[in-house]
A and B are shown apart, each in its own frame.
Chain A
Amino acid sequence: MNVDVFEDERQHHFVLNMGPQHPSTHGVLRILLEMDGEYVLDPQPVLGYVHRCHERMGEFKPAKAFMPNVARMDYLGALIYNQGYAMLLERAAGIEVPKRAEYIRVITSELNRIQSHLLWYGAYLLDLGAFTPIMYTFDDREHILDMLEDVCGSRLTYCYSRVGGVCKDIDDKFIERARAFIERLRSRFPMYEDLVNGNVIVQKRMQNVGEYTPELCARFGVTGPLLRATGVEYDLRKAEPYSVYSEFDFEIPTEKKGDAWAAFNVRFREMEQSLRIVEQALDKLPDGEVMAPKVPKKLKLPQGDYNCSVEAPRGELSYYLVSDGSDTPYRIKVRTPSYSNLSVVPELCKGMMIADVVTCMGALDLVIPEIDR
């Protein structure tokens, strides 16, 4: 982007740099906004500030040792990333996972999804200027983090799934706490609706901001709650069911309009659906082992390429592993949802006011370490 002296009519535009350090870009994202007064003409995201070479690290470590890396890529959906990668290796090596382990993976993944949406909710409202809802959502989040800490051993960057199952079983204390948490969060939803969803200022800020169509989503590969906000009912848990999701009864919330308010509502209602899944999974939890019986220590994947997709809180997450038959993979590629979600910004945010750019980016729910890997 040419930021030197402009000739012609660009002389009275100026470039505002929502720099890598900014309270509302959710990470180290830099956006160059060419502006005319209060209106944005040309937003250009600049990436790469958090690039940590995760995919390169996958090329000289054995395939099983990549598990801590995937959790660091999206720290808010770490259990889902773990699950996806474990599924990839299980598919590649042909290992079958016991039923109880699948149920535990689903329960913890859905709790992780709720936790990620709660944080998004609070942080989005913080961008808009409301300082209290984030404190309430972090309070709810603490309960989930404490539960998961008891089982997985960490609070944010979990390393819980293994090839063939999970590493530790859940006990009755976890099940009790999970049920108590479901009750608690259900009783908090009316409070959030009163404080935030019904508030006229919030509605006015978010309605008709950043309207996009399913065609735009198809062009840029946008998936997840953003796609469901335009009316397309595409959720990998229902479209291509993996793990034991086909055994649960849950809905896919969709909205028609495709603006920030629609995305907001979709994510809010997804939390309730995730609660339903957790409830059903806790009721149907089978007994048994949590680890497959014979998992080789050195996982040698046969030559070829393997692929696995899961539904992360932000969209569709895909792993692609190319193996050349040796100890370490030849290439691991991770297709993260936020990268595709971010790519609509230059087209979507043209002609908006700067306050709307903040609203629009908050609705996209970006996690920058996932974009840069």
Chain B
Amino acid sequence: MKAYFSELFTGAWSLIVGMKVTIKALFTPVVTVQYPRQKVEVTPNYRGHIDLIKDPESGTHKCITCGSCMRECPSDCIVVEGEKREGVKGKVLTLFTLDYTKCSHCGACVETCPTDALEYCNDYEVAGSTREEFHYDLIKRMEERV
């Protein structure tokens, strides 16, 4: 008999305590960021797809076409091709494409590059309507960079 009433009162009190929590939350400011009118600050360490760094001294990329990134990539999304030209030591980079639809953001390519020619581009607002839009030509992207 006593358990009947005590259960009833503790139950009812717990409900009231819970309601107090919610009513307090009603009067605290919202934590929403109204995207796309307001934007969240993205840390520069966010990994997006990779980009070739434009070396300020030489005005072009630092890639030596060794192909390490292509070998290390777990998802086989990088294609690097180069050719030997006369008068130039080593290979010259002719093709560097990234198939972003397969990239797993592991970072192996950036870390394994011997000349540090790659960096992450922390662009998170990529949206497209066809797959071909995500086959990036990194040489062209580098040339268009500021």
Contact = CB atoms under 8 A, between A and B. Distances in A.
Interface in A159-176: 159, 162, 167-168
Contacts of A136: 25
A199 B74 contact: no
A157 B105 contact: yes
Contacts of B112: 297
A66 interface: yes
A302 interface: no
Interface string A126-161: 000000100010010010001001110110010100
Given A194-B20, A199-B18, A68 B43 contact: no
Interface of B is mostly: helix
A342 B14 CA distance: 33
A153 B20 CA distance: 39
A111 B74 CA distance: 27
Contacts of B18: 194-196, 198-199
Contacts of B14: 198-200
A67 B72 CA distance: 12
B31 A159 contact: no
Contact of B108 (A65, A69, A132): A65
Given A139-B31, A153-B46, A154-B47, A65 B105 contact: no
Given A149-B43, A153-B45, A194 B106 contact: no
Interface residues of A, number: 32
B22 interface: yes
Main SS at interface, chain A: helix
A46 interface: no
Contact of A191 (B10, B15, B21, B68): B21
A184 interface: no
Interface in A168-226: 168, 191, 194-196, 198-201
B17 interface: yes
A230 B74 CA distance: 42
Interface of B: 10-12, 14-15, 17-18, 20-22, 25, 31, 43, 45-47, 68, 72-75, 104-108, 111-112, 120
Interface of A: 61, 64-69, 72, 132, 136, 139, 142, 146, 149-151, 153-154, 157, 159, 162, 167-168, 191, 194-196, 198-201, 297
21 contacts: A64-B72, A65-B108, A67-B74, A67-B106, A68-B74, A68-B104, A72-B104, A132-B22, A136-B25, A142-B31, A149-B45, A150-B43, A153-B47, A157-B105, A159-B106, A167-B111, A191-B21, A194-B18, A196-B18, A200-B14, A297-B68
